[in-house]
């Protein structure tokens, strides 16, 4: 097909997204401003917080204070640094607004709360919580901060909901270092599962509709977290390692040998939900464990086996009402990857990891505003997708099966993604061209700042050599 013929065909398609529709998306930003505006004591801070959010929604190369300020039309980064470090506002209050916003637009009784952690690679030793520690972001021990995150996933969308900064023991044991990083006193060491519990408790107490709690082995291995969830009661499906011990009657068994002894008929082929390439099929098996002290509820060991590599088996501990079907457990277990998708999208789209701050408070402020920016994109995508489905202009994953009519597929579009919503918002509504004076002013500021940094760097080196 020639280029001209292809262009004519594209122009002839009934495109569901046009400039007017993107303008309606931008009209939702005042809702966010109205929701978080009262959290800021001064009008200047309120305006800069919205400018900061819009900067996070921009496609600039790196979303640190300098580039966000330049993008927002500021003449220097001081005002944005003041917003993160010294202005009067509570990131926890804005987090509560974020939670209400997500529940309003994405809330679902079958929603799932998912916990996980991610690393923020850093240089130096001054940033709050930074240490040489293992991070899955790099797949090895690196100098980094670790954030424990909570995501909310429903049929309408998924987004990050809450956050806590993990402090290694070397930090909590050094009060002077904590004070220099602005960490509030008193501060005590808390494990990642303990931080997860803090977030889950305030989320569930706030009435967020959630049928399940999901998490990886870090959280599934913590029996105190599991028992706390059971005491509420709150259904969970938490991954555990193969050497995890479980009770059957008066006998304690390891989960891997227990699953290895299952008969072939104990396995059932079910989907863990739709992925980007359609249904994700696995073989599943269920083993009853000791009943909890909660009438009507049951504990199970759930095993998931790969079809391509049968030796690859994942294990989960499940607590749920006794009538819960295996298919529902598999759906909940298969949802854990959604928080990884949320973290990747937040880092790639709204600069979750691109901050350059050292203080405890500044970390929470940047992360909270980045999560709000991601939630906004997710809500816009959900609303646009709902409108498109109502007009029949999108394809669902099942429409992509080989049996689907090719003629119908050629006239439809794949559902909008968060990155695509991000691109359209910027190109049609948020994009601004800086004046030449603005560009030159920032060139002057950067060179002056770099010259000052060079001077102090050389001075430190000369002092060290003289010593």
- Determine the Cα–Cα distance for residues 411 and 12; give it in Å rounded to an integer: 10
- Residue 316 tokens, joined: 């989960």
What residue ranges define each of the domains in the chain, with the CATH number in brackets? 3-89+360-438 (no CATH), 91-345 (3.90.350.10)
Tokens of 139: 């797949």
Report the alpha-carbon distance of residue 390 to residue 310 in Å, rounded.
Answer: 41
State the angle between helix axes of 337-350 and 418-425 in degrees (0 to 180), rounded to the nearest 10. Answer: 20
Q: Quick one: how far is CA 48 from the chain centroid?
A: 24
Residue closest to 303 by CA, chosen among 261, 351, 362, 356: 261
Q: 3-class SS at 345?
A: helix
Is the preceding omega at residue 282 within 30 degrees of 0, hence cis? Answer: no
Burial of residue 3, with CB atoms counted within 10 A of its CB: 0-12 exposed, 13-18 middle, 19 or more buried: exposed
Adjacent-strand bridge partners of 215: 115, 238
Predicted local confidence at residue 2, as pLDDT: 46
**What is the number of other CB atoms lying within 10 angstroms of the CB of residue 62?**
10
Q: Cα–Cα distance between 197 and 259 in angstroms, integer?
A: 29
Distance CA 270, CA 281 (A): 6
Is the separation of the CB atoms in 425 and 22 below 8 Å? yes
Give 278-308 as a 3 state SS string. EEEEEEEEEEECCCCCCCCEEEEEEEEECCC
Residue 376 to residue 359: CA distance in whole angstroms:
26
Tell me the HSE value of 435 on the side-chain side, using a 13 A CA sphere.
6
Q: Which residues contact 177 (CB under 8 A, 6 or more apart)?
A: 171
Other CB atoms within a 10 A radius of the CB of residue 236 amount to 25
* The predicted structure's pLDDT at residue 67: 82
Tokens of 311: 């030796």
Pairing of strands 212-215, 236-240: parallel
| Cβ contact 123:143 at 8 Å | yes
Residue with tokens 């059957």: 248
In tens, the pLDDT along 381-414 reads: 888 777 666 555 554 544 444 445 444 444 455 6
Block residue for tokens 């209400």: 100
CA dihedral 319, 320, 321, 324 (to 10 degrees): -120
Element holding 98 (H helix, E strand)? helix 91-106
Tell me how far apart the alpha carbons of residues 108 and 152 are, in angstroms, rounded to a whole number. 10
Tens-binned pLDDT, residue by residue, of the chain (467 aa):
444 543 444 444 444 555 667 777 777 788 888 889 999 989 999 999 999 998 898 888 788 887 888 877 888 889 899 999 999 999 999 999 999 999 999 999 999 999 999 999 998 899 999 999 998 888 899 999 999 999 999 999 999 999 999 999 999 999 999 999 999 988 899 999 999 999 999 999 999 999 999 999 999 999 999 999 999 999 999 999 999 999 998 899 999 999 999 999 999 999 887 776 678 899 999 999 998 888 999 999 999 999 999 999 999 999 999 999 999 999 999 999 999 999 999 999 999 999 999 999 999 999 999 999 999 999 988 887 776 665 555 545 444 444 454 444 444 556 677 777 777 766 665 666 666 665 566 565 567 767 777 777 777 777 777 76
A 10 A CB-CB count for 133 gives 16
pTM: 0.84
> Whole-angstrom distance between the N-terminal and C-terminal Cα of the chain?
73
Q: Name every residue whose Cβ is closer than 8 Å to that of residue 164 and which is 6 or more positions away in sequence.
A: 147, 148, 195, 198, 199
Q: Render the burial of 398-423: b for 16+ CB within 10 Å, e for the rest.
A: eeeeeeeeeeeeeebeebbebeebbe
- The answer to whether residues 360 and 182 touch, using CB atoms and an 8 Å cutoff, is yes
Given the structure tokens 């926890």, which residue do they identify? 92
Query: Within 13 Å, how many C-alpha atoms sit on residue 393's CB side?
Result: 13
3-class secondary-structure state, position 245: strand
pLDDT at 432: 64
């Amino acid at each position: 097909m020639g280029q001209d013929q292809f262009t004519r065909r594209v122009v002839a398609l009934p495109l569901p997204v046009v400039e007017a529709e993107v303008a309606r998306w931008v009209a939702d930003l005042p809702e966010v401003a109205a929701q978080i505006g009262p959290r800021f004591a001064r009008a200047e801070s309120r305006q800069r917080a919205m400018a900061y959010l819009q900067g996070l929604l921009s496609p600039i190369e790196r979303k640190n204070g300098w580039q966000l300020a330049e993008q927002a039309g500021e003449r220097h980064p001081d005002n944005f640094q003041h917003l993160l470090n010294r202005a009067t506002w509570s990131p926890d209050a804005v987090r509560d607004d974020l939670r209400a916003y997500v529940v309003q637009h994405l809330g679902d009784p079958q929603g799932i709360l998912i916990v996980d952690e991610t690393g923020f690679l850093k240089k130096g030793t001054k940033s709050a919580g930074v240490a040489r520690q293992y991070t899955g972001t790099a797949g090895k021990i690196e100098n980094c901060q670790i954030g424990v995150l909570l995501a909310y996933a429903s049929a309408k969308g998924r987004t990050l909901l809450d956050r806590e900064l993990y402090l290694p023991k070397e930090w909590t044991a050094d009060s002077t270092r904590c004070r220099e990083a602005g960490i509030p006193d008193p501060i005590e060491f808390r494990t990642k599962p303990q931080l997860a519990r803090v977030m889950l408790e305030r989320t569930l107490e706030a009435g967020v509709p959630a049928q399940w709690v999901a998490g990886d082995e870090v959280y599934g291995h913590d029996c105190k977290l599991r028992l706390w969830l059971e005491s509420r009661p709150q259904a969970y499906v938490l991954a555990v390692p193969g050497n995890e011990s479980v009770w059957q009657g008066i006998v304690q068994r390891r989960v891997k040998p227990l699953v290895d002894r299952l008969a072939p008929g104990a396995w059932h082929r079910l989907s863990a939900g739709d992925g980007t390439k359609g249904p994700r099929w696995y073989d599943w098996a269920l083993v009853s464990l000791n009943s909890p002290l909660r009438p009507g509820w049951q504990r199970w060991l759930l095993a998931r086996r790969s079809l391509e590599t049968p030796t690859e088996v994942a294990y989960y501990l499940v607590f749920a009402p006794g009538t819960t079907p295996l298919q529902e457990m598999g759906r909940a277990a298969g949802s854990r990857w959604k928080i990884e998708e949320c973290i990747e999208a937040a880092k790639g789209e709204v600069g979750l990891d691109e901050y350059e701050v050292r203080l405890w408070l500044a970390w929470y402020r940047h992360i909270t505003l980045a999560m709000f920016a991601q939630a906004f994109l997710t809500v816009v995508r959900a609303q646009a997708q709902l409108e498109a489905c109502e007009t029949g202009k999108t394809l669902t994953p099942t429409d992509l099966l080989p049996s689907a009519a090719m003629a119908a597929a050629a006239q439809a579009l794949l559902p909008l993604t968060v990155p695509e919503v991000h691109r359209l918002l910027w190109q049609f509504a948020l994009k601004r061209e800086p004046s030449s004076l603005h560009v030159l002013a920032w060139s002057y500021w950067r060179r002056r700042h770099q010259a000052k940094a060079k001077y102090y760097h050389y001075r430190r080196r000369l002092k060290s050599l003289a010593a």
